Structures are given as structure tokens and as C-alpha cells.
A and B are shown apart, each in its own frame.
Chain A
Amino acid sequence: MFYSNKEDVLPAEQVKAGNDSSHLLGNSGVQTMEAYSEKDISSVLAYAHENDKTVHVISGGTKRGFGGEMEQADILLSLANCKGIVEHSAGDLTMTVRPGTTLKEITDELSKSGQFAALDTPWPEMATIGGIISANDSGPKRLLYGSARDLVIGLRVVYPDGRVIRTGGKVVKNVAGYDMNKLFIGAMGTLGVISEITIKLRPLPKYEGLSLLHFSRGKEKEIHNFSVRLLDSMMEPAALELLTPSLAERLIGKSSYTLAIAFEDREKAVFEQEKWIKENLPDGVEHTILHQENAKKWWEGFRHIGPNGYNDENNEATSRAALKIGSNNLDVLVHLQAAEQLAEAHHVDAAGHGGLGHGISRIFVRGLPEDIVSYIHALRAKAEEKLGYAVCTHLPFALRETVSVWGDQPGHFALLEGIKQTNDPKRILNRKRFVGGI
């Protein structure tokens, strides 16, 4: 495929002049090209490759503030209209879907068959499956259901030169060749553009319960002990997520460390586990239980707390940032406490949550840009001290020039660089969006 001029790449109505060259979050393009199909994606990339044009990829735009040191590329390739369910094989518990489909669209469709895609990521009505997988986003229930790497069984990927490569397949168990799916999950679109995704599904849980445990100040040690006891029991929580007092205040109106413990199982099994919680409740801990619709509603609220690419305040004084901290499971408490204490020292507002059974914490920050920068440095240092890491999942473009989004290069960076070089030798795709400026 060779395109001598861009008019041949896509029909005129799918090409627009970029009108947001100075978007607060960067990751823009001189031109926006709307792909409706895999063929469109392939045409755009083949054109870009031939003509040495750089390409940013966007879909729902909720992760526009996640990485990227280049304010504007030649082309902003939008997948927002490359959407729809290609195939839902209910009997096989699998589904094939195009990247621009929102998680809510997927959830709604699957619920008709009593199934769901086990991803409880934020902003489901805006975030698309392609973006969720490219950014390896996840929510509290990864504790029971796993994250994108556990769900994706096959992909179609358009390589930077326009080739379409299939990875994995449509069956739930498959070891033919390398597990190439994994390379594209969380790769921030730097190795290829995902044009089709096949994921494993699950039956919707028969019953849902949520126990909220409020620990008053000074009871932090109890949180640790209680969580250790729960994790060492045979209970099977879908989520064991700790909320900072500031987040609990916002969501529940109680300014105390709060454990959100979800059970999703048969009704009897949920009640049995809630009974365990009651019986093992530490003294002085306040306890609320929500069931079914009320539990669902609570989680719905929970999924709308962070930045979404459209809710930044467009003024000099207040910026928004979000961080993902990875750590040993039980260090989550330490990191959330640090997040709270450092917020005071650095004059920012911070709220967060983290999974005591999975080791991922999320911190949402508001404040003056310079305060946010110093806060991130301090929090990252704490995370690294405990052999964890901190990644900035949302930052205005201007701040991404002063704070490293990904932290230091890993020891095996040469391998990452080698893979990027292999897939995208001209470095046209999402240039500098990922670790070490890949």
C-alpha cells in the first residue's frame, strides 16, 4: 500500500483539521483522522509510515493525560467510531469487539445474556475497551477476576506499517506460539494499534454484597490485622479496597479509613461471608452492608471519582493529577497513609484507594502545579523505598515535561527498546508515550 497524498487515505469526511493543538493534556494531532474500520486504521498507518508522519491514537479520550511527551503529532488517529461487537459467543463465554466500544456498551449488551466482561475500570460510559487494554487499566475487583492480561485471549493489531497481525485466538486456552497478546496490553499503543479484541467473559454473579468498614483515626494497625485475617481465611472477596478518609468522606460522608469488601457469589455464600465479617469485626469499627442494587450503585459512584480527560479545571491555579502505585499487597496501607500525610506537607488535596489483596493503589491529586510536582516526587520516593513504583496516570501536558510519568527506566530497558524498534522502527506510533521515552 502506498499513498502519495493523504486525500487517498480516508474519505474527506473522516479527516478534520486538528482544533486542539494546545490541548491541556497534549497528545493532539495536526489532523484528526477518524477510522471506522480496521482497513481505515491500516490505511492511515501505511500512509503515515510511508511519509514519516507521527501518529497519536485516541478513542474515548479518558486517558489523554496518561503519558506522552509530544504535544502534537502529525495525525491524531481516532478510534472512537471503530466500534461495535463483532461476535458474542455466549456458550463459549467469549466476545470479539472493536476497540472504540465503550465498556458500558459492552456491559449492557452482555447483561442481556447474563454475562459480563470482568473489568471494573473508571468512567465505563466513556472509556473504550481499546484504551482500557492499551493502558492496562483495572479496578478493585481485579482481586478476584484478574486484570486485562488475564482476560484478553486474542487481538488483531495493525502494525505501524499497516500490516494486520493476529495474536492469540478465540479460545480460552492457547499456547500456540508466543503469547503476543501480552505485548500490546499496557503498551500505550506504542507497538501497534489494536483493531479487534477477543476477551473471556464470566457469568454475572448471582448476588452481590458490599461491606463497608469504617476505622476511626488511630486504628490503622487494625486495618492491617483485619485484612491479614480476612486474606488468610477461606473467604473469597471480589474486592478488598481501602479508601483514604478523604475519599470516604466524598463517597460516603465519613472521614475515616474505609475498607470496601465486595462479595459476589450465590446469595447464601455472600451472606455466609458477611457473617464472617461481622464475627471478626474489630472493636469500635463501624459497619455498613449494601446489597444488590445498592451495592452496584455504590460501585458506580466509585468509578466516577478520578480525572477522565474532560474534567480538568482549565485554570492556572488548580491542576489535577492521578497516580498508580504498585506495591506488595499489604504495603497499600502504608502508601495510602503516605499519600495522605504528604498531601498536607505539599499543600495539595489527595484522595485515594488501594487493594490490600492486589497491591495497586490509585491517588487523585488537586493543587498548584508546582505543589503537585513536589508531591509526586515525594510519593514516588516512598513507593520506591518499599520496592514498589509510581506511575502518573493523569497529568497536564505541561507537567509531564517536568515529572517523569513512568519513573526511571527498568534494568531491562534495552529489551523494551529492542521490541519497539522491531515493531515500529520509524517510531511513528505514540512516540514518547511510554517508559523511557519509547
Chain B
Amino acid sequence: MFGKKRKMERPDAVVRRLMDIAGEKEVLYKKEDLISYECDGYTMSKGMPKAVVFVQNTEQVSNVVKYLNREEIPYIARGAGTGLSGGATPLGGEVLISLVKMKKMLELDLENRKAVVEPGYINLKLTQSISDKGYYYAPDPSSQYACTIGGNVAENSGGAHCLKYGVTTNHILGLEIVLPSGEIVELGEEGVPDRPGYDLLGLLTGSEGTLGIVTKVTVKVLKNPEGKKTVLAYYDDIDDASQAVSDIIAAGIIPAALEMMDEIAIEGVESAAYPVGHPRDIAAFLLIEVDGIAAGIDDQIEEILAVCKKNNVREVKVAKDEAERGLWWANRKMGFGAMGAISPDYLVQDGVIPRTRLPEVLAKITEISRKYELRIANIFHAGDGNLHPLILYDASVPGESERASKAGSECLKVCADVGGSITGEHGVGIEKSAEMRFVFTDEEMAAQTNVRNVFNPEDLLNPGKLFPQPGRCVEITQGDMGTGTVSQGKQSAGT
């Protein structure tokens, strides 16, 4: 579409009205400006928005929403667009309400351990802005250098350190939201816990932007742990590594993080920006971090080392300084992106399993890899059973995208079948809406959509996400889902 000459695009009535509300320069509506908003971090599905409006305050959000409601135009709230399930991806024709310009910290109250930020505030910036006082914000998704707190709330984001400290929902004390009616409501006012009423804070967190638009967030901030030690353990056998994970937990240790990577994942991270020099011939490594009161850490490290040795570790070492620890983590957090170094395309999945079922699930994922003739790298938050199988494929090879999609879906089925979940932290979005049927009955999903209707009765706010669309099921062929421009002719879900 770049090759053709197009007519001068002029703002239509909708765009003009959005400009009236937010300012002329705050609305994108030309095709070339909209291209980069066709999808979020999940690139297998794309759709062209009608416009993007950059709002600067709650009142503008409310006015935009009221107007779009009146005109019955669907709309989506968007932060940094780092989401991995298509939650902020248009199906086609929606107005994107971008919150990236609402990025102020409004209040910091360290005595009461809370901060109030606007939704566009960047996750890592929060920690950076309070670290000099010895505080931090716990949820640390790998995209934390870019992703926004508002987006974290929408997705109930996790991260490597949520094994000990919990996910976003455990750190949200209050929200200001704009309902699809345009009404502004406050939940958890002043960050005071347990306010009377149903726990709408908990319901809104992780609702993938389908119940309301978050315009202000009160988060819990934590004091830095006094001590912290990080262990790296190399294994020749992935079952030994899995057993070590279970044994560490069984020893009564809750590490701050307990991560695992398999051989292919290691090949990826070692080819990317932060190579550590991991041996290339190991089956897996564990990255284990313990934090807390310094006096209690050495004992725990000793126990962890003993567990690793008992489980036939090839080599195990403790980070000698902050620089080494930092490198290990940078290497780990590059995990997804690093796949670009060893494969033209990759699809990341996000299943969760009871951690004791790890060996059996890994064996099944290996079978899936063989069946579809695609390499699958595995990066896990092993401590909490959250798997990220990365399915490597080449979109330019006919049929390979579809195979990747099917393999991804099958990995999720394996997780669901052992009593797990289809997503631990990336959300359902567009990608996994069909797979919701792996874990919920129609009746159970109806119980959820009925709740959605209380907030979003016209389903204009982020429509078509999270729940399977009527009449579609997992068996239906790909390409059947979504009405937007489908990039590279493929979909990951719906196959």
C-alpha cells in the first residue's frame, strides 16, 4: 500500500471531534501514521485503527469515551503497546486512546508505602525514581524498561520476581477508572485496603482493558531487601533441573526468583546482546535468587547448592558481585528478543502448570516440537510453573506460521490438561481467546461476560478480546478470527 499515490487524507467528523477534545496535534488519523498502531507486541494479528488520540488527563478520557459511546464507535486503551497477546490490537476501525502522555507521578508517600502514578508511567521508571531512598516497585515484567503501569494493571503483569512478591494485583492499592459510560470512579480511595464493597480493584486488574480505562494508579512500594544472592546452576539433564526446582521449594525456601532456560533458549540468549558464556552443551540452567534479611541468606544458599548437587548439577556458582548478577539477569531478560538471533520469527506462549508436573509437560512439548517439525525453546518462571515455550518458525516458508500457531495452541492444551492455565501473565487478548475453552465452560465464560456487561454493556470498549467469539471454536481453521488486516496471512489463536 505504500507504492500507490493516495488522495490527501482529511480529518473526518470523528477525528475533528477528537481533536476538539484532546487538541489538534494529539490525534493521528492518516494511514501512514496509523501503521505502527496496527498491533501490540503480539504481531500475528493486525488491524487498522480509525484514529489514535493522545489524551492528557482524566477529563479528556471521559469526554472521548462519552463521545465515542454516543457515536457507537469502538475504542481501545493503549499504553506502550508491549502486550504479548494482542490486547491493544485493533480488530479494525477502533479509536485507540493512548495514555502514554499521562505519565506523571502524582504522589509519593514512602511512610505509608505507596505511590500514585498516571497510567502512562513506565514500570522501571517507578523503581528508578525511588531507588535512592531504598524503595522499589516489585512487579518486573521483562519489558519493564518500556511498559506502562496502566498496561500492567490491564494485564495483571507478572515478572521474574513474582514467585516471592506476587503479580501486579498484589501491589495495586487504588485505581481511578473511566467507565465506558464516561463516568469517573475511584476504587481503593487513598490506597486504604479492604474498602467495603465487592473487590472491583481485583476484578479490574487483569481485565485486559475491557471494563474501564485506568487513569490513575495507587501502587504499593516495597523497601529493598537487605541482602540478595543469585545462583546459576548448569544441568546436563532437564529432568534433574526440574527436580531441583521442586526440591528447593520442598526445602521450605521461597526464592525471589527461580528461572529455567533450556538448550535452545540458551543458544538464543548467548547469540544476543548479553552473552554470559553459558556452556552450549548443557540441557538447562537454573537462575535462582534469594533475598531478604542478610543474616538468613547464606544458609539458604548453602541449602540450594546442596539441592543442586544432589540433583546432578554439572556446575553451580554464586554471583560474585552485582555486575555478574546484573549480566545474568540481562541475559535472562533478553530471552524472548534473543530468539530473533536464531530464528526469523517466533511465537511465545504463556502456559502455567503445577510445578510438580514440569518433567511430564516438558516431554510433551518436545513431542509437539517433533510433530510440527519446529524448534521450541523453553524459558520458564519455573518456581511458579509459568512456562514460556517459544516456537521458532519462518513466516516466509508457506504453512510454517500455521504450524507454529497450532503448536502453540497444543502447548496450551497440554498445560490445561494437567490442571494448569493457558496464560500466567501475558493475558488472553486476541491470541488465546479460543483457548479459553480449554479452561472454562461456556457457562463459566458467560458468568464473566455477564459481569463485563455491568461495566461495558455495549461492548464498545476493547470488543472481541478475551472471550471466544460466538460460533468459533478451537478447531476452526485459522484466519477466521478478527476483522482487521491480517498480517502475513496468519493468526495464532483460532486454529
The contact of B293 among A231, A235, A419, by CB within 8 Å, is A235
Residues of chain A contacted by B211 (CB below 8 angstroms):
178
Q: How large is the interface on B (under 10, 10 to 19, 20 to 34, 35 or more residues)?
A: 35 or more
Proximity string of chain B (123-140) to chain A, C-beta cutoff 8 Å, 1 when within and 0 when not: 000000000001000000
Summed over the interface, the residue pairs from A and B with CB atoms below 8 Å come to a total of 258
Proximity string of chain B (414-432) to chain A, C-beta cutoff 8 Å, 1 when within and 0 when not: 0000011111111110001
Q: How far is the CA of A167 from the CA of B191 in the complex (A)?
A: 26
A146 adjacent to B170 (CB under 8 Å): yes
Q: How far is the CA of A57 from the CA of B354 in the complex (A)?
A: 32
A419 adjacent to B195 (CB under 8 Å): no
The contact of A412 among B156, B187, B426, B448, by CB within 8 Å, is B187
Proximity string of chain B (159-171) to chain A, C-beta cutoff 8 Å, 1 when within and 0 when not: 0001000110110
B341 at the interface (CB under 8 A from A): no
Contacts A178-B451, A268-B295, A389-B192 given; indicate if A169 touches B420 (C-beta within 8 A). Answer: yes
The contact of A91 among B156, B250, B420, by CB within 8 Å, is B250
B470 at the interface (CB under 8 A from A): no
The contact of B296 among A147, A266, A411, by CB within 8 Å, is A266
Interface size on A, residues (CB 8 A): 84
Q: How far is the CA of A170 from the CA of B440 in the complex (A)?
A: 13
A17 at the interface (CB under 8 A from B): no
Q: How far is the CA of A428 from the CA of B66 in the complex (A)?
A: 35
Q: How far is the CA of A187 from the CA of B199 in the complex (A)?
A: 8
A175 adjacent to B354 (CB under 8 Å): no
Contacting B at CB under 8 A, from A364-410, are 387-389, 391, 406-407, 410
Proximity string of chain A (245-283) to chain B, C-beta cutoff 8 Å, 1 when within and 0 when not: 000000000000000000001101101110000000000
Min C-beta distance of A169 to chain B, whole Å: 5
Min C-beta distance of A31 to chain B, whole Å: 28
Contacts A93-B249, A422-B450 given; indicate if A173 touches B158 (C-beta within 8 A). Answer: yes
Residues of chain A contacted by B186 (CB below 8 angstroms):
411-412
A182 at the interface (CB under 8 A from B): yes
B419 adjacent to A169 (CB under 8 Å): yes
Q: How far is the CA of A418 from the CA of B179 in the complex (A)?
A: 14
Contacts A175-B423, A203-B253, A234-B134 given; indicate if A147 touches B194 (C-beta within 8 A). Answer: yes
A147 adjacent to B203 (CB under 8 Å): no
The contact of B226 among A149, A204, A234, by CB within 8 Å, is A234
Which residue in chain B gives the minimum CB-CB distance to A263? Answer: B293
Proximity string of chain B (237-278) to chain A, C-beta cutoff 8 Å, 1 when within and 0 when not: 000000000100111111000000000000000000000000
Q: 6 tightest A-B contacts by CB? A: A182-B202, A269-B296, A203-B252, A266-B296, A234-B226, A418-B454
User: Which residues on A are within 8 Å of B, measured CB to CB?
Assistant: 89-94, 114, 136, 138, 146-147, 149-150, 159, 163, 165-167, 169-183, 185-187, 191, 202-204, 206, 228, 231-236, 265-266, 268-269, 271-273, 324, 326-330, 357-360, 387-389, 391, 406-407, 410-413, 415-416, 418-419, 421-423, 434-435
